[in-house]
Amino acid sequence: MESAGDAVAVVEGSRSLSYRELDAVSSRWARWLIGRGVGPGDAVVVAVPRSLESVMVLWAVAKSGATFVPVDPGYPAERVQFMVADSGAVLALTVSSVAQVVAEAAGSVPVVAVDEESIVAQVEGLSSRPVSYADRVRSLEPGDAAWMIYTSGSTGRPKGVVVSHAGVGGVIAAEREHFGVDASSRVLHVCSPSFDVSLLELGVGFSAGATVVVAPAGVGGGPDLADVIASQSVSHVFMTPGALGSMDPAGLDALRVVVVAGESFTPDLVRRWSVPGRRRFFNAYGPTETTILATSSGELVPDAPVVIGSAIAGVGAFVLDERLRPVP
């Protein structure tokens, strides 16, 4: 009988990590970070294309207590440079394939490739036991920053939004239940790391003991993404309406739940993807500042109004006028 630790936590193509393996390797990397004096209050840039490695590094940074700052290495160099500097990062983690690009943008911030042999050898010599509060360089409090995600901002200049640990658990727990994610689920990880819904993908998947299926870094929609969903028997997807609309739903028989967020869409998208009794369709909404989501709809069905739904558990939603006064 397979134990919970032996269940597959994350899969990317032919590569995979069990929960036990993911916990062990991320604990070693967390200890490596702690050994460099990195901990609560420190920002760590993670510029790793979507992969098993990007998932592992996220958990390592989280276990160290530091603030996770995702940076897409494919962004223009000027944007990457601004994000690294503005975040006050003490370290940037990347992989060899993009290390030079990241190093050029990072300036004086140290850059480490997590697949560099000499670094990997150091990490492998560290303990894989769980990281405790006593192991960290400083105490970790609920109000400390969990992550900093950059939005375009109203002016088009990147704006770093800091989210504390305090609000994360409630959102993940509420939406895991709302969308019916459990240990049998296979949750797609396709959102850009710079889009906070990517953290919802990982959070609801791992907290349920599900399998997270990582889409290749160069795949964001269309037939290629549909092939990943079909071949990996993905059951839950969270994505923008634009990405969803680029695919044909035919043949995606294992897909049980579709959640869209980040953009408006027309009822036609619901008609194409909602199959009452077999595939449920939800609309989620929330600015980055509210910790991923603020509202979520009930199941949307064909030919019914498209709504953003009501406030999720633990969140209040209010309508204000131009002077920020409550209105009916």
Query: Residues 271-283: what's their mean pLDDT?
Result: 97
Q: Flag whether 324 is in a domain.
A: no
Least confident of 52-56, 156-160, 257-261: 156-160
pLDDT of residue 4: 76
Q: Flag whether 319 is in a domain.
A: no
- Domain residues for the domain of 100 are 11-140
Query: Residues 280-298: what's their mean pLDDT?
Result: 94
Does 23 have pLDDT greater than 60?
yes
Specify whether 266 is located in the same domain as 200. yes
pLDDT of residue 37: 98
The pTM of this model reads 0.94
Residue 130 belongs to a domain with what CATH number? 3.40.50.980
Query: Residues 119-131: what's their mean pLDDT?
Result: 97
Confidence grade of residue 153 (pLDDT, cut at 50, 70, 90): low
Specify whether 130 is located in the same domain as 48. yes
pLDDT of residue 195: 87
Specify whether 105 is located in the same domain as 198. no
CB 271 within 8 A of CB 279: no
Q: Flag whether 320 is in a domain.
A: no
Query: Residues 6-34: what's their mean pLDDT?
Result: 97
Specify whether 38 is located in the same domain as 75. yes
Tally of domains within the chain: 2
Q: Flag whether 145 is in a domain.
A: no
Specify whether 28 is located in the same domain as 130. yes
Q: Flag whether 110 is in a domain.
A: yes
Does 21 have pLDDT greater than 80?
yes
Q: Flag whether 154 is in a domain.
A: no
